């Protein structure tokens, strides 16, 4: 199981727990409110009003918890892991920064790299002289800076 899939599973478990807690708060708040409204008398009016307000607050907390949990549920369900470079074949990631790959070995390389760090394959139409580090055309037989043969 890769990191994205593991994170998705953990997020789903957390969302289910939060939705369950939200439902309990909502039901408890409704029951508390209704019970205390129906049992309100002149003798216990202050405590009944307090418990009705408490029930309303619990119900609102439950609704809020369910709302946020539903939002995170949609996020968890939309997470998608891919093999290899996580940006491969991913429409959202392709619109962001995406590493280039060496055509020879498939290693991720920066767009500014001239040579693949893994296999040494030339990534552009230029050669880098191993002696002096000068950049040369790929068809040069000798370095244009130091004259050393390639």
Does residue 88 surpass a pLDDT of 70? Answer: no
Give the residue, 149 or 56, on which the prediction is more confident.
Answer: 56
- Beta strand 100-101 pairing with 108-109: antiparallel
pLDDT score of 40: 86
Instruction: Extract the tokens encoding 96.
Output: 């962001």
Q: Please tell me the distance from the alpha carbon of residue 91 to that of residue 81, in angstroms, as a whole number.
A: 13
Burial 11-40 (b: 16+ CB within 10 A, else e): beeebeebbeebeebbebbeebbeebeeee
Q: Please tell me the distance from the alpha carbon of residue 145 to that of residue 129, in angstroms, as a whole number.
A: 9
Which region among 25-29, 57-61, 135-139 has the lowest average model confidence (pLDDT)?
135-139
- What value does the mean pLDDT of the chain take? 82
Is pTM beyond 0.75? Reply is no
Mean pLDDT of 131-143: 83
Give the residue, 114 or 148, on which the prediction is more confident.
Answer: 148
Instruction: Extract the tokens encoding 117.
Output: 């760090």
Q: Residues of the chain with pLDDT > 70: what percent? A: 85
Which tens digits make up the pLDDT trace of 43-66? Answer: 888 889 999 999 999 999 999 999
CA 35 to each of CA 12, 14, 21, 41, 47: distance values in angstroms, whole numbers, following the listed order: 34, 31, 21, 12, 12
């Amino acid at each position: 199981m890769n990191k994205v899939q593991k994170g998705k599973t953990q997020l789903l478990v957390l969302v289910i727990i939060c939705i369950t807690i939200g439902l309990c708060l909502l039901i408890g708040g409704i029951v508390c409110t209704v019970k205390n409204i129906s049992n309100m008398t002149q003798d216990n009016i202050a405590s009944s009003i307090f418990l009705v307000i408490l029930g309303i607050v619990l119900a609102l907390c439950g609704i809020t918890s369910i709302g946020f949990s539903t939002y995170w549920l949609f996020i968890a369900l939309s997470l998608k892991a891919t093999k290899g470079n996580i940006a491969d074949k991913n429409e959202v990631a392709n619109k962001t920064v995406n590493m280039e790959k060496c055509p020879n070995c498939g290693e991720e390389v920066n767009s500014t790299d001239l040579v693949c760090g893994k296999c040494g394959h030339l990534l552009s139409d230029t050669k880098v002289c191993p002696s002096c580090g000068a950049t040369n055309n790929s068809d040069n037989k000798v370095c244009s800076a130091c004259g050393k043969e390639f």
